[in-house]
Chain A
Amino acid sequence: MDDAQTRELRDDAPLPAWKHGDPVDAATDALIEPRGDQLLSSTVTINKPRAELFAYWRDFARLPSFMENLERVDMIDEKRSHWVAKAPGGTTVEWDSEIVEEQPGTYIAWASAEGADVPNSGRIDFRDAQAGRGTIVTATILYDPPGGMIGKAVAKLFQREPAIQARRDLRRFKQLMETGEIATSSRNRAQAQQERQ
């Protein structure tokens, strides 16, 4: 056999760009305490230093300001937090989450606790972009849509093009960090309020 035909060359493409192989397996390997088998991953470059972005993200209570599907996140203590996400029909899904590993300015890895409505785990990585262009931010999230009625609701919530939702959330994070606000074309406050729901 020709070596070239059997040898596997893994290229440098990040997970969301893979055409072959199993990105979920790779993401599972990358997470400290993986939960779930559905993968969301997206990257954005933000024209701000790593430390500033890390500090904003580390206070999870602020995440709902740019993550549209989150209703609120309460910090329980330094490591643990309680998450409430919007679900169709005005209902919510909730879970506790714990930071399983972090390195200030570099990454945060978390995993949901036992009994989560939506078992999930993820990490957010902050790397310096080249030539002072700010920070490359990568979110990698695994989640496990449950069965039953709530499962249907959650599937509807997360699987409505979840990759697009993740990308939009990261864009809003970028807007908030770079410009101090989240761009909207709403002509007035009532319209803006409506669009956030």
Chain B
Amino acid sequence: MRALTWHGKHDVRVETVDDPEIVNPRDAIIKITSTAICGSDLHLYDGYIPTMMKGDILGHEFMGEVVETGPKSTLQKGQRVVVPFTIACGACYHCGKHQYSACDNGLPADNQDIAQTLYGQPMSGLFGYSHMTGGYSGGQAEYVRVPFSDIGPLVVPDGIDDDKVLFLSDILPTGWMAAENADIEPGDTVAVWGCGPVGLFSVQSAFLMGAERVIAIDHFPTRLELARSFGAEIINFEETDTYNALMEMTGGIGPDAVIDAVGLEAHGFFVDNIIDQIKASTFLGTDRIHSIRQAIIACRKGGRVSMPAVYGGFVDKFPLGAFMEKGLTLKTGQTHVQHYMPGLLNAILEDKIDTTFLISHHLPLEQAAEGYRIFHDKQNEVTKIVLKPGLEFAA
């Protein structure tokens, strides 16, 4: 089959690789119909994530048609499914509590050592996202092997477009969980750093959960305009001092809840950010954390901090004093996708949520490498790329 493979920093290629097969009883093979490039795929593209190997197939936002099932899969051939990016067993203690991204068994035993050492305990597996998260082949391909297919994939009804449900695989549940983690109370002001897909879905979700005001922060005009179209007030951090703006906009109180939807590739030239970049490039520290720092300083006393943004390693200059003195609460984590999928599918079917506005490009899988390049270089124009294995070459 054809698949998008990783070969190094800014080097991804569409190649012919071995087809996937049923390996374990609960597996299913899915024929991909749509697969998106995620903002976090750019972390791989930029070489920030360790334990990648040449030839790894990327992609963790995908959906398609069931073409083969193992003896213990509950799926049926021909069903259309959206696959969650977290690989979870459904049987361990954490899955029992719906903490799917904390699954004990999603990672192969040998791949658990790194997370055990770095984080204290192993986490769930992830599709197409380095060997630390399992080394599973991702979905930017014609076919994919889906483990634990009786637990993960969500069957979607025929007659609804891929574009409407594809984002159930990751970014919609992630944006929703980010807003849920902000424990929003009616009348709250919520500030969101980053108007990428997760940030924009957080803006929408925050309003649905009762926020009165949402303030969205970014520097790409297209993304800020999208946030505004959902009713958010906007701050362009290149034009404006974000802390001062937030304090003035909230009458000197600060936002009741803050959401960091930026994460380890915070862009923008701030002094602490540049120090982080130097450290990242010399392996002294992997995570650049300007946005979470600013969010903590801006957050009102006793407020809530939600952090959907991906961080992988260690940081310094974390404002622990402000965090403690103001009595803030932090909630974070990889998304428990399986927990949120059914409810959000219903919201889509009832037209309460429409995520199709996000998609700026459809490309054939064969042009995936080009997709990575433009997504990386033109973040103002390119908000989301959906790859279609069947699509003819664009002219």
Check if B21 sits within 8 Å of A181, measured CB to CB.
no
Given A47-B91, A175-B105, A180-B25, CB of A185 within 8 Å of CB of B136: yes
Check if A187 sits within 8 Å of B25, measured CB to CB.
no
Q: How far is the CB of B116 from chain A (nearest CB, A)?
A: 8
CB contact list, A57-96 vs B, under 8 A? none
Given A188-B21, A188-B23, CB of A183 within 8 Å of CB of B147: yes
Check if A187 sits within 8 Å of B145, measured CB to CB.
yes
Check if B21 sits within 8 Å of A174, measured CB to CB.
no
Contact with B along A173-197 (1 / 0, CB 8 A): 0110011111111111101100000
Q: How far is the CB of A86 from chain B (nearest CB, A)?
A: 16
A47 to B92, CA, bound (A): 6
A141 to B277, CA, bound (A): 47
Q: How far is the CB of A177 from chain B (nearest CB, A)?
A: 9
- A side interface size, CB within 8 A: 26
Chain A residue numbers with a CB within 8 Å of B20 are 187-188
Given A168-B109, A179-B26, CB of A185 within 8 Å of CB of B125: yes
Check if B107 sits within 8 Å of A183, measured CB to CB.
yes
Chain B residue numbers with a CB within 8 Å of A186 are 23
Chain A residue numbers with a CB within 8 Å of B90 are 179
Check if B18 sits within 8 Å of A187, measured CB to CB.
yes
Contact with B along A29-63 (1 / 0, CB 8 A): 00000000000000001010000000000000000
Contact with A along B70-81 (1 / 0, CB 8 A): 001000000000
Q: Which residue of A lies closest to B26 (CB)?
A: A181
The range of chain B's interface size is 35 or more
Chain A residue numbers with a CB within 8 Å of B72 are 180-181
Interface residue A123 (Cβ < 8 Å from any Cβ of B): no
Check if A188 sits within 8 Å of B26, measured CB to CB.
no
Given A183-B108, A187-B18, A187-B145, CB of A178 within 8 Å of CB of B23: no
Given A183-B125, A185-B135, A188-B18, CB of A133 within 8 Å of CB of B109: no
Given A179-B26, A179-B89, CB of A185 within 8 Å of CB of B108: yes
A94 to B165, CA, bound (A): 56
Check if A175 sits within 8 Å of B109, measured CB to CB.
yes
Contact with A along B100-140 (1 / 0, CB 8 A): 00001111111111000000001001000000001111000
Check if A184 sits within 8 Å of B23, measured CB to CB.
yes
Interface residue B176 (Cβ < 8 Å from any Cβ of A): no
A116 to B62, CA, bound (A): 53
Check if B93 sits within 8 Å of A185, measured CB to CB.
no
Q: How far is the CB of B87 from chain A (nearest CB, A)?
A: 8
Interface residue B148 (Cβ < 8 Å from any Cβ of A): yes
Interface residue B96 (Cβ < 8 Å from any Cβ of A): yes
Check if B24 sits within 8 Å of A181, measured CB to CB.
yes
Q: How far is the CB of B121 from chain A (nearest CB, A)?
A: 11
Q: How far is the CB of B196 from chain A (nearest CB, A)?
A: 28
Chain A residue numbers with a CB within 8 Å of B17 are 187
- Which of A168, A178, A179, A181 lies in contact with B110, CB distance below 8 A? A168
Q: How far is the CB of A173 from chain B (nearest CB, A)?
A: 9
A122 to B260, CA, bound (A): 50
A168 to B116, CA, bound (A): 11
CB contact list, B311-367 vs A, under 8 A? none
Check if B105 sits within 8 Å of A179, measured CB to CB.
yes
Interface residue B19 (Cβ < 8 Å from any Cβ of A): yes
A45 to B121, CA, bound (A): 13
A182 to B107, CA, bound (A): 10
Chain A residue numbers with a CB within 8 Å of B136 are 185
Q: How far is the CB of B120 from chain A (nearest CB, A)?
A: 14
Of A164, A175, A183, the most chain B CB neighbours within 10 A belong to: A183
Of A45, A175, A179, A181, the most chain B CB neighbours within 10 A belong to: A179
Q: How far is the CB of B126 from chain A (nearest CB, A)?
A: 11
Given A178-B104, A189-B23, CB of A183 within 8 Å of CB of B109: yes
A174 to B89, CA, bound (A): 12
Check if B113 sits within 8 Å of A181, measured CB to CB.
no
Chain B residue numbers with a CB within 8 Å of A171 are 109, 112, 122
Q: Which A residues are closer than 8 A to B by beta carbons? A: 45, 47, 133-134, 164, 167-169, 171-172, 174-175, 178-189, 191-192
Could you give 6 example pairs across A and B, Cβ below 8 Å? Answer: A171-B122, A174-B105, A179-B91, A183-B107, A186-B23, A187-B17
Q: Which B residues are closer than 8 A to A by beta carbons? A: 17-26, 72, 89-93, 96, 104-113, 122, 125, 134-137, 145, 147-148
Please give 11 more A-B residue pairs, beta carbons under 8 A apart, in addition to A47-B91, A168-B113: A133-B93, A168-B109, A174-B104, A174-B105, A175-B105, A181-B25, A182-B24, A183-B125, A187-B17, A188-B19, A192-B23
**CB-based closest 4 A-B pairs:** A171-B109, A188-B21, A185-B135, A181-B24
